Structure 1
């Protein structure tokens, strides 16, 4: 049985807009980098369709970088996205990260689920913290998109 950990937040935007924020390179570069990290848009490959490739480079404040890769497995706008994601390109990316967007009163409930895999409790906690930082920045992107 797969053991997922979950992060859920309600965003005050329509789910079409939330889906756009997580699948469009110019918005993705902002929130995936968060305020602390740079993801240059020219490093992004986002072929958002089943079987499409994902690539990104994260430039860390300490001068190091993380190369990300993955594949979009399920793309059902604006309700669901499943993509593999690894910072060890060339290795098996494992089970996909799942993004579910549900219309709720006042906006969209975004649920992100990831297989725990062989993560320690500390790694799970750090990943949840990272997803929450992503969602904080998705909220800022949405505010910009809505007030454009």
Structure 2
């Protein structure tokens, strides 16, 4: 896997809660997409086990829908989650996105690494902006929750 980007955030919640934000459909729908995009909770399906599939619909402001899908490759709560992620229904990406969760001062250090795949530099930059927006929403979602 050629790493395309790595993002590290400290989230003010315990690792178990941050891990759950990635694996509970109602939580995932609340932060995936950030403020500008809607992910209806009833479109999120998660079979959180190695080999299990996940899907989610992202409704963007221009009225279009992005159909995300993937497969979990590693599930080690609350330390590590790895999954494939693709928005092309005809494709099945094999290089996983990996998210690790570690106790840290003030909560949980969450580190995401994503392969570059065939992303251009511009697309990689937009992906970084998108994830940071998503994680801003996650921080709001998890503020004050256990």
For Structure 1 versus Structure 2, the TM-score category normalised by the shorter chain is: over 0.9
Per the TM alignment, residue 90 of structure 1 is displaced from its structure 2 partner at its CA by 2.5
Does residue 130 of structure 1 match 2:127?
Answer: no
Unaligned 5+ runs, structure 1? none
Following superposition, which runs of at least 4 residues in structure 1 exceed 4 angstroms of deviation?
Answer: none
Distance 1:54 1:104, change over 3 A: same
**What's 1:42 paired with?**
42
Structure 1 counterpart of 2:78: 78
Give the distance between the partners of 1:145 and 1:67, measured in 2 at CA. 29
Task: Give the distance between the partners of 1:142 and 1:19, measured in 2 at CA.
Answer: 11
1:3-60 Cα distance to aligned partner (Å, 9 max, x none): 3410111111111111111111111001113211111111111111111110111111
List runs of 5+ in structure 2 lacking aligned partners: none
Q: Distance in 1 between matches of 2:47 and 2:103?
A: 25
Give TM-score scaled by structure 2 length.
0.94
How many residues align? The count is 146
Aligned to 1:89: 89
TM-score between the two structures when normalised by the length of structure 1: 0.93
In the alignment, the residues of structure 1 paired with residue 87 and residue 19 of structure 2 have an alpha-carbon distance, to the nearest angstrom, of: 23
2:145 paired with 1:145: yes
Q: Which has the higher contact order (CA 8 A, sep 6+)?
A: 2
- What is the alpha-carbon distance in structure 2 between the residues aligned to residue 82 and residue 133 of structure 1? 20
In the alignment, structure 1 residue 54 sits paired with structure 2 residue 50: no
Is the contact made by 2:68 and 2:88 (CA closer than 8 Å) also made in structure 1?
yes
CA shift, 1:144, in A, is 5.4
State the SS of the aligned residue for 1:145: coil
